[in-house]
Structure 1
Amino acid sequence: MRQFIYKQIDNSQLVAFRILFGTLLLWQVVDYLLSGWIRINLLKPIFTFSHIGMEWLQPLPGNCMYYYFGLMAIAALFIMIGLYYRISIVLFTILWSGIYFMQKTTYNNHHYLIVLLCLLMCLLPANTYASVDSKIKPELKRFTMPAWCSWIMIVQIAIVYFYASVAKLYSGWLDGSFTKGMLSKHAPDFLKELYAQEWFYLFIAYAGLAFDFLVVPLLLWKKTRNLACVASIIFHIFNKAHLGIGIFPFLALSFIVFFYPPEKIRKLFFWKKPIEIPTSSQSQEGKMLVRWILLPYLLLQIVLPLRHYAIKGDVLWTEEGHRLSWRMMLRSRKGTTKFKVVDNTTQKTKIFKLKKILTPKQIRGMQSKPDMIWQTAQKIRERYARMGKDVSVYADSKVAINHGEPRILINPDIDLGKAKWNYFWHNDWILLYDKNGNIIH
């Protein structure tokens, strides 16, 4: 096993991924700069929905966020070409993580995946070939790397696909109700009739489930690798065409370089690269890094998506344990939420106008998500506190999953403005239901 992990292999896989990864990061950042995403999600709101506990992390004033993203674009370019690689990847990791934790109105799992990949790429020797760094410093140039540099990326994407498949094993996916709604929403006019057919949306549901379960094993097996590669291209291009979802389809496809033999990747991308035959040295390069950082990291990645099983209630309803768990494109969630404010001195009651503190997009994103509803109640209470008023804030919230019957999400009798957020376990103010649809008291 040690020889398998630490043996020297051609480093073309990692170098090719660095170039692809940097290109995709540059694409994503430039798209946000040009599309209005920064203005809509960071500058227009009075405050952003930061991850709970990081409310201090808010957008910089004025045009500073454009400079922020401009700096990220430069860092992404430098990652791609391998210039000041270590500084560039660390800088991009910090800046991108800031954006990720700063706002969750526009939440995508691939934003989280980029954080993880950046962390891994900070530790890997991805600039030792086909980089400006190796041109400037020839002593940096290498043609091989330890095998664990490749396997860490394979295991990471395997975790993503595995938990994405496990999450689909629920009735709303297996009966096709989610894919039916998703396809009807995104279908081009000339395909609406086809997409409405029961056999078709069931096929899409089970094809997606099978793909997530099988794609990594099939890519690992030489006899099915090419077939799995073609299936991956079809699957992700279909998702890109119908769902958008940013750079994720191309990011997922870029992992394919780790499944093909390094020699094939060298011939495809770096045909002028010298062939270096690895020595039979027993050197265990990176042993301490693997033992004390990468193995604990992988253990954390395996445990995090399981945490919702320890939390009371169905994660599909409560959302507790949903994030960081690869529960991707899994359900539609629609809701309406109104906030009733009671002045504790005069006992006067009024419905709070959300447009005073939230943008239309924030309102749409908040109305069905318990954590954002709780954060909104905190902001409402703070707003009145600044005016010297002691108020109670109650939420009237109804949510429907996969176009089902709306149910009350938040206990309307709980003062949500004074309620505490439980980081690790169930928040009792989120109502739970039994199989018959009755509230569990």
Structure 2
Amino acid sequence: MPAGLVISAPASGVGKTTLTLALARAWRNRGLRVQCFKSGPDYIDPAFHAAATGRASVNVDSWAMDRATIAHLVGRGSDADIVLAEGSMGLFDGVAARGVSGTGATADIAEMLGWPVVLVIDPSGQAQTAAAIAAGLRDYRAGVRLAGVVLNRVASPRHEDLVRRAMNDIGIAVFGALPRHAEISLPKRHLGLVQAEEQAEIGELIDEAARFVSEHVDLDAVLRSAAARSVPSAANGLNVTPPGQRIALARDAAFSFVYPHMLEAWRAAGAEISTFSPLADEAPDASADVCWLPGGYPELHAGKIAANARFRSGLRAFAETRPVHGECGGYMVLGTALTDADGISHEMTGLLGLETSFAKRRMHLGYRLAALAAPMPGHQVGARLRGHEFHYSTIVAQPDTPLAAVHDATGAVIAETGSRRGHATGTFFHLIAEDR
């Protein structure tokens, strides 16, 4: 297992992603091989990681994955000089009920893999209290080791001195302090960070972040704090069945999200993947035996999708004889209609009766455990699938046969059951793993 660090914080929005990208690029610029991972189900950050390191990043998730699967995934960093795992939310934030190997908290990954934690602390509006927060996180859970902290958005040299002295008094190393610097802030969007592939200037932003962090953080001290633990991996790798031998995968700005580890597992199992662009009015490969529409941002491109007759007719023809599956945004496009944020209704492909609307945004967020009531590509009736749902659409109609009985992480029933009609299936959750 490579030496690694977990980049975490007391809460979201403190600067974990910026620091992760900056460290990764700064060390890469020094000639080090850097491997990143993302703790939890966030599907956008791994693309930023890849842009910073030149190496693909994947998610590791203690709620949805067992220890052997996580060890298998992090094994991709065995040739790296340093591993950085970016956390999600606060260090100990997870769900109330334990999943496969944990609650989905970043702390689970830190303890499981033996990677010390570098905390990003934003002391805005406080001084010595920041040290009390850091001490509380350090001592909260045995088995999670704190390497030190990086202060972010420090107001002045005096402010920095007050916080540093307080940290020193309780034995917490301060690796650096970043003054406020809006220029390195990554752009935002309605689902959080924008996708890296949409940002032509992402390389420049990461370079600037790396330069800035290199000036204010002791990179050598951070690197020396990394550690590792040997974790046995699964001999058979990931427990993922490809949906077919030849998979036609929608891939463009409207259909941009599928977990990287899923695609890798499909290929490792011998499946062939061909991509097509619905936004370019392309139809799925006629030689494929299954079509998969991932999530993304179809609501931002609904008018174009509705107008692309070749895509729509080609998908309908494909579905007459072979399975088509959609996840979240892909599921919405398989439906009858999608109403955008301006209240304009757009005709979708009509393979399912689903009607969704973004006119009144309502967040749907959380882990999902689905027991299939009907088969879907790659999975039979009764399969227990673990995934994650995150979108702002509202169901107007979901008239087809439910695909699954879906519950959240606490066991509460979820109305977004997914649908099945003919060869078409769809879910609002993005598949992460199947229970072994």
| Band the TM-score falls in, shorter-chain normalisation | under 0.3
Higher-Rg structure is 1
TM-score for the superposition, normalised by structure 2: 0.26
Point out the structure with the larger strand share.
Answer: 2
TM-score for the superposition, normalised by structure 1: 0.25
Point out the structure with the larger helix share.
Answer: 1
Q: Which has the higher contact order (CA 8 A, sep 6+)?
A: 1
